[in-house]
Amino acid sequence: MPDHFAIPLLLTYLAMMIATLLHAILRPLREPASRIAWVMAIIAFPVGGILAYMLLGDARISRRRRARFAAIEARMPHPDGDPEAARLMSQGFYAAPFARGRAVNGLPPTLANSATLAADSNAAIDAMIADVDAATATVHVCFYIWLADCNGLKFKDAVIRAARRGVKVRVLADALGSRVFIRSPHWQDLKDGGVDARVALPVGGLVWTLIRGRVDLRNHRKVLVIDNRVAWCGSQNCADPEFEIKPRFAPWVDIMTRWEGPVARHCQFLFATDWMAEHGDDVAALLAPGSVHAPAAETGIPAQVIGTGPTQSYAAMTECFTELIHAARHELVITTPYFVPDEQLLFALLSVARRGVRVVMVLPRRNDSWIVAGASRSTYADLLLAGIHLYEFRPGLLHAKTMVVDNAAVLIGSANLDRRSFELNFENNILFHDHVFAGEIRKRQDEWLAQSDRVTMERVKGFSMAERLWQNVMAMFGPVL
């Protein structure tokens, strides 16, 4: 190449590298470990590192979409809470987790709620379909993954039946997670059947992605709200447990909870903001005071809805998890498929174990992400040295995300204990305080523990040098994932 071309290209490249490095170093609210990881990636892989940072460096969405979310939330009525629930949750051991959760969306705790736990994934889909078949006014659905398998098609048929009998059915499916279903004839079947079906966070080409923001900022929520009075919350996508797109990790073991009471309208708030952000019709009236005519109840499960996403400038879900971890006095039991903690979460787990709380963690033995598996196992030695009881689930992919504290307070929903859920995805969780229902979920955790193998220090010490190298490299680059 002639010098008069090479020199300008070299200067342009150097300018791009310096600009990218400065952006990585100066970006606010970035952990030092994340800055270091990106600087290393940009220097070690000059072209690929710059391109990767342009695509993945910022947990951001486009300014236009961010402004649209902000405008929607500003004018959206916030559902009422319960003064008695607020009073109860402001006292005792779990005041801080509830206070932190309320600060995320401005959604206060409610009291007159009842909840049930589905027996398994197939039972959950059948019960959700029964609720759809009983709907009289509205059915609102949001799934990250929707597959054209047995459960996925059964659910599709149910929402079409509801639409054809006059129920207003609104459906959101994530553009990336549900891409095969969206491109299939089944998506058109929904529209032909009268369902208002929309794609959440559409994905464009490379240029549009660079303008819009990260392509992997996804709507990871699993939400079903029926008639503004029944809501489902948990880890399950609209799919069979055999999960045909990744069958060698099957069965996928999930958990779903069914809620009745005012907490359903708070789940509606999360759906409404997502729906209107995708140019859906205005559903704010469903959140107005008096929009639900339910009998008053003096008792029930105190529960609070927490919705997080990349529109927030900080990792709100991390703080909600760590507040609940620090509130533990006797026991903390956690299940999660993806464990890539930031320093705040990891240090909280180590600290609570060292002060004598019995901490139990259950992770999958076979993970569908080899990157996450490596990063997770890089923490095993530290967890075990702190006294944490660590298990790996044998039969399939334990996809349930549960955190039970002292058999009393529970955080359950779509969020994993990884940086993707903390910074990149829209997530929905419910925090509640109730010994009876917490006991049911704790019993389910014991069922998973009975199918798990204890991770020992001998096993960790037996990792080969190649395995340890891989694990630690994945952990080093965890902050850029």
Question: Confidence band (pLDDT; 50, 70, 90) for 29?
Answer: low
Residue 365's domain spans which residues? 316-480
Over residues 137-186, the pLDDT tens digits come to: 999 999 999 999 999 999 999 999 999 999 999 999 999 999 999 999 99
Which tokens belong to 187?
């998506």
Which tokens belong to 222?
């699993």
Are residue 169 and residue 237 in the same domain, yes or no? yes
Q: What is the dihedral of CA 429, 430, 433, 436, to 10 degrees?
A: -100
Q: Do 271 and 223 touch, CB atoms closer than 8 A? A: yes
pTM of the model: 0.90
Are residue 271 and residue 331 in the same domain, yes or no? no
306 domain residue, yes or no: no
Return the higher-pLDDT residue of 71 and 241: 241
Residue 7, classed as helix, strand or coil, is: helix
* pLDDT on residue 296: 46
Over residues 122-134, the pLDDT tens digits come to: 999 999 999 999 9
Which amino acid is it at 314?
Answer: Y
With a cut of 50, say whether residue 460 has pLDDT above it. Answer: yes
With a cut of 80, say whether residue 30 has pLDDT above it. Answer: no
With a cut of 90, say whether residue 103 has pLDDT above it. Answer: yes
Return the higher-pLDDT residue of 83 and 303: 303
Q: What is the mean pLDDT of the chain?
A: 89
Task: State how far the alpha carbon of 404 is from the alpha carbons of 193, 359, 390, in Å.
Answer: 41, 10, 15
* pLDDT on residue 473: 82
Which of 300, 324, 349 is the C-terminal boundary of a domain? 300
Are residue 138 and residue 28 in the same domain, yes or no? no
With a cut of 50, say whether residue 372 has pLDDT above it. Answer: yes
Q: Do 79 and 268 touch, CB atoms closer than 8 A? A: yes
Are residue 280 and residue 168 in the same domain, yes or no? yes
Cα–Cα distance, 119 to 44 (Å, whole number): 50
With a cut of 50, say whether residue 24 has pLDDT above it. Answer: yes
With a cut of 90, say whether residue 234 has pLDDT above it. Answer: yes
73 domain residue, yes or no: yes
Question: Confidence band (pLDDT; 50, 70, 90) for 5?
Answer: low
414 domain residue, yes or no: yes
Are residue 40 and residue 78 in the same domain, yes or no? no
* pLDDT on residue 251: 96
Look at 195-199, 216-220, 232-236 and tell me which has the smallest mean pLDDT: 216-220
Q: Do 364 and 397 touch, CB atoms closer than 8 A? A: yes
Are residue 70 and residue 13 in the same domain, yes or no? no
The CATH number of whichever domain residue 131 belongs to comes to: 3.30.870.10
Count of structural domains, the chain: 3
Are residue 207 and residue 232 in the same domain, yes or no? yes
88 domain residue, yes or no: no
Helix residue ranges, H only, 278-342: 316-326
Over residues 392-443, the pLDDT tens digits come to: 999 999 999 999 999 999 999 999 999 889 888 999 999 999 999 999 999 9
Are residue 447 and residue 464 in the same domain, yes or no? yes
Look at 4-13, 16-25, 320-329, 391-400 and tell me which has the smallest mean pLDDT: 4-13
Are residue 145 and residue 260 in the same domain, yes or no? yes
92 domain residue, yes or no: no
Question: Confidence band (pLDDT; 50, 70, 90) for 205?
Answer: low
Over residues 338-360, the pLDDT tens digits come to: 999 989 999 999 999 999 999 99
With a cut of 70, say whether residue 446 has pLDDT above it. Answer: yes
Which of 242, 265, 300 is the C-terminal boundary of a domain? 300
254 domain residue, yes or no: yes
Are residue 280 and residue 337 in the same domain, yes or no? no
Are residue 294 and residue 334 in the same domain, yes or no? no
90 domain residue, yes or no: no
Cα–Cα distance, 348 to 6 (Å, whole number): 52
398 domain residue, yes or no: yes
Q: Which residues on adjacent β-strands are paired with residue 230?
A: 226, 260
Are residue 49 and residue 73 in the same domain, yes or no? no
Which of 259, 274, 300 is the C-terminal boundary of a domain? 300
Q: Do 166 and 193 touch, CB atoms closer than 8 A? A: no
